[in-house]
Amino acid sequence: MAIRSTSSVEPAVLQPVPVKRLLSLDTLRGFDMFWIMGGEEIFQVLAKTTGWAWAVLIADQFTHPDWNGFRAYDLIFPLFVFLAGVSTPFSIGSRLEKGDEKAQIARKIISRGLVLVLLGIIYNNGLFVKAIQDTRFPSVLGRIGLAGMSAQLIFLYVRPRTQYRVFVGILMGYWAALALIPVPGCGAGVLTMDCNLASYIDRMVVPGHLYKTIHDPEGLFSTIPAIGNALLGIFAGSFLKTNHETGRQKALYLLGAGALFVLLGVLWNFIFPINKNLWTSSFVLVTGGLSLSLLSIFYWIIDVKGIKGWTFFFTVIGMNSILIYVADEFIDFAYASHFFFGGLINRLSSGWVAGVLGVLGYLAVKWAFLYFLYKKKTFLRV
């Protein structure tokens, strides 16, 4: 891992070589991170201070279901995993085309995945060592690292047609495991929080403590199906890299594939519920389908139609996405926002206006931090 100043503006992604061909990729990544940065708080503030029905409805979509079900906020994490996959055929593919040895590329892939796991542990627990029983090892960054690493190794060593079989095998195998393997004291096929195979395996093998004591939403076993989201991204990236179709055709095909996956996921939901906590196979299909649809829309608008003037705001975020995620744990952006904007907001407004302006001030400080790094051409490389 390194924070680098580069001689040219290059997007920070989870791959060793920056992706330059698809502005839509960095823009969509930035759009995704915008909501993690605090963008959803705009609607939360409006819902709390006004009670407006539309604001309450949207704010509810920026929460997670207690267990089964799906809301828009559930897409943010798997979309990021998907986008890491999209850039793989461009980055790793270009290294293969240059003749780099697979073993060398594999070592880089594995080290990058392990660095993200380490960053995730630090993000959860801080820089100081805790007793192992007080340490939470599973993390968002850890899942991104392990799922992305596994998918990239599959891309590196497995033939394209076999990659599709691996994708299907992962989803079907995970379903079969949770449906057929009995959990002591619970039996087979039970998918409650305390009685499911994924949580049981995590309780047995994951050191330290789990986020919800009996379950961890970023647990080890439920990371396996997340490989499917990264593989879907790889399939999409490989398709976009080809020259057989026009940009318009590619966008339409991706949109159609996305709709098909969403439909299959909704149908599978009747026997294997859509569940982010367990990252069920139906959840992979729904989030993968929505990710494909969003990629197709951004790709068509930006890379095909060339409408790019609006992308800069999100691109600045997308080019340092991992950094802003980690920095939020160690930099008090809220204090900085209050220092620069607090007094002015309190003097000029009140009620819901003050609340919304407070959120916008908070986002402005974060974006200014990223813009400063962008102007300095400094990006976190993992």
| pLDDT tens per residue across all 382 residues of the chain | 545 444 433 333 333 334 456 899 999 999 999 998 889 999 999 998 888 999 999 999 999 999 999 999 999 999 999 999 999 999 898 888 888 899 999 999 999 999 999 999 998 888 776 788 889 999 999 999 999 999 999 999 999 999 999 999 999 999 999 999 999 999 999 999 999 999 999 999 999 999 999 999 999 999 999 999 999 999 999 999 987 888 999 999 999 999 999 999 999 999 999 999 999 999 999 999 999 999 999 999 999 999 999 999 999 998 888 888 888 778 888 878 877 776 666 666 667 787 888 889 889 999 999 999 888 887 776 6
Number of helices and strands in the chain (H, E) = 17, 2
In this structure, what DSSP letter does residue 316 have?
Answer: H
Which tokens go with 241?
């890299």
How buried is residue 133: exposed, middle or buried, by Cβ count under 10 Å (0-12/13-18/19+)? Answer: exposed
> What is the CA angle 155-156-158, rounded to 5?
65
* Residue 295 tokens, joined: 């990629």
Question: In angstroms, rounded to a whole number, what is the distance separating the alpha carbons of residues 119 and 145?
Answer: 10
285 close to 262: Cβ distance less than 8 angstroms: yes
Task: For the beta carbon of residue 100, count every other beta carbon within 10 angstroms.
Answer: 15
List all residues 6 or more positions away from 331 whose beta carbon is below 8 Å from its beta carbon.
369
Domains of the chain, residue spans? 2-381
Collapsing DSSP to helix, strand or coil, 136 comes out as strand
Contacts of 284 (CB under 8 A, 6+ apart): 78, 171, 225, 226, 228, 229, 232, 265
From the centroid of its chain, how far is CA 252? 23
Distance CA 71, CA 106 (A): 36
- Beta-bridge partner residues of 380: 3
Alpha carbon 311 to its chain centroid, in Å, reads: 19
> What confidence score (pLDDT) does residue 128 get?
75
φ, ψ for residue 126, nearest 5 deg? 90, 180
Centroid of chain to Cα 282: 17
Neighbours of 210 (CB within 10 A): 18
What angle, 0 to 180 degrees and rounded to 10, lies between the N-to-C axes of helices 281-298 and 247-268? 160
pLDDT at 178 (0 to 100)? 97
What pLDDT shows up at residue 382?
Answer: 66
| Residues ≥6 apart with Cβ < 8 Å to 175 | 272, 280, 281
The pLDDT of residue 287 is: 98
**158: number of Cβ within 10 Å:** 14
Separation between Cα atoms, residue 78 and residue 283, nearest integer Å = 9
Decide if 229 contacts 78 (C-beta within 8 A): yes
Taking the C-alpha atoms of residue 151 and residue 234, their distance in angstroms, rounded to an integer, is 8
